[in-house]
Amino acid sequence: MKFNSKLIHGGISEDATTGAVSMPIYRASTFHQKVVGGTPEWEYSRSGNPTRNALESLVADLEQGIAGFAFASGSAAIHATFSMYSAGDHIIVGNDVYGGTFRLINKVLKRFGLEFTVVDMQDLSAVEKAVQDNTVAIYFETPTNPLLQIADIEEISKIAKQHHLQTIVDNTFATPYNQNPLALGADVVVHSATKYLGGHSDLVAGLAITNDEQIAEELAFLQNSIGSVLGPDDSWLLQRGIKTLGARMRVHHENTEAIVNLLKNDSRVAKIYYPGDPDFAGYEVAKKQMKHFGAMISFELQPGLDPKQFIENLDMISLAESLGGIESLIEIPAIMTHGAIPRELRLKKGIQDELIRLSVGIEDEEDLIADVKKGLASLSNQTVNN
């Protein structure tokens, strides 16, 4: 089955007992066991729930894994995945990760004795150099948030394998529609399903998927032990959202290309961060490992132009955190999503105060273009000091 058919028919996509084409929501905490000491398929909904299980089998299928695990949020999925490691273990982390992941690492996991080295994943020799005797894993995002940097999954996985490390990729920005890290050599894929997979900004959920038997067993154990599982209602809603991922992504991509084209040709825009732009540093690697370049764009206005004025003059595109929904969302990372990173460190990473991040939705292209043009026009009464 090809990908778009899998979205609808993959994994467990109908109810085995009734044939219902939408998996029922099994809102039960416990299940009647017929004999004492038997091995029933369902016992207790933290350990396993049929609705969650249907979702988990679907996402395993979509990411070409053998097992999927659904969590209460992307952060919970990332936390459970890092919980495979123990005090004294060392993990190499990409230098541009989601602000909440940065916080989880620095304010929580370090307290439990995990050690981290932050590395620019675009620099393969730096990745290899960061490997220590106690290194156990490499964790990164590609494209990254918010700079859309591209890391070469295949090459990094090769380095990891040479040193017997596990490779974990946060595939939230690309989605399985555009990129399958497990097929490129990674061991675990994590997602904030809150974003494109849910797709409608009405759900918080997370996923971890693996193609390794031992890791699958470990993640199943951790999911049940830590208990940050996704409930049946949200599991159903996520599977419902996933069915239209392909249809949504195609419109996301069309609109993104139109907006990139507009921004590239406007003198008020100083710099665009978009993996599909042939002038962008990560373009060649992105072309190699992604089916399409995704629908996230970051950009900077010319020095002296006020990003707040641009955003406040938009009519349709909403000022909001989050991304990947059907509605276009815009934000300033330095003030909003990445505010938790100290300014000096932020600037060192390349996240300027002026950086604007746009999650392109699936509204009509004409309306989006008109809105961006309106925002840009509002800047014209300001002076540009080049």
Ligand X SMILES: *Cc1c(COP(=O)(O)O)cnc(C)c1O
Contacts to ligand X by CB under 6 A: 73-75, 98, 100-101, 141, 145, 170, 172-173, 192, 194-195, 204, 206
- Minimum Å gap between C-beta 337 and ligand X is 8
Closest separation in Å from C-beta 231 to ligand X = 14
Q: Residue 26 or 173: which CB sits closer to ligand X? A: 173
Q: Which residue has the tokens 């815009």?
A: 330
- Find the shortest distance in angstroms from Cβ 20 to ligand X: 28
Nearer to ligand X, 13 or 194 (CB): 194
User: What is the three-class DSSP state of 10?
Assistant: coil
Q: What is the number of the residue whose Cβ is closest to ligand X?
A: 74
Which is closer to ligand X, CB of 173 or CB of 299?
173
* Catalytic member of 170, 187, 234, 277: 170
Of 55, 63, 56, the C-alpha closest to 3 is 63
Q: Which residue among the candidates 46, 158, 240, 374 is catalytic per the annotation? A: 46
* Annotated catalytic residue within 52, 187, 195, 234: 195
Residue number with CB closer to ligand X (28 or 72): 72
Structure tokens belonging to residue 204: 């918080």
Are the beta carbons of 371 and 312 closer than 8 angstroms? no
Considering beta carbons, is residue 174 or 376 the nearer one to ligand X? 174
DSSP 188: E
Closest contact distance (angstroms) between CB of 324 and ligand X is 8
C-beta of 170 vs 371, nearer to ligand X: 170
Nearest CA to 150 among 253, 39, 273, 270? 273
Strands 115-119 vs 90-94: parallel, antiparallel or unpaired: parallel
Indicate left, alpha or beta for 303 from its phi (over 0: left) and psi (-120 to 50: alpha).
beta
Cα–Cα dist 157/284, whole Å: 18
Any catalytic annotation for residue 274? Answer: no
Catalytic residue of the set 26, 85, 98, 273: 98
End-to-end CA distance of the chain: 54
Q: Of the two residues 100 and 246, which places its CB atom closer to ligand X in the complex? A: 100
CB-neighbour burial class of residue 326 (10 A; exposed 0-12, middle 13-18, buried 19+): middle
Residue 195 among the catalytic residues: yes
CB of 75 to ligand X, least distance (A): 3
Pairing status of strand 269-273 against strand 296-301: antiparallel
Q: How far is the CB of 179 from ligand X (least distance, A)?
A: 13
Is 61 an active-site residue?
no
Q: Output the CA torsion 37→43→47→50 (10° steps).
A: 140
Q: How far is the CB of 15 from ligand X (least distance, A)?
A: 27
Q: How many CB atoms are closer than 10 A to CB 330?
A: 23
Could you tell me the two tokens for 349? 């990473």
177 as an active site residue: the answer is: no
Kind of pairing between the strands at 206-210 and 269-273: unpaired
Give the bridge partners for 94, in sequence order: 119
How many CB atoms lie under 10 A from the CB of residue 314? Answer: 19
Q: Are 241 and 200 in contact (CB under 8 A)?
A: yes
List the catalytic residues. 46, 98, 170, 195
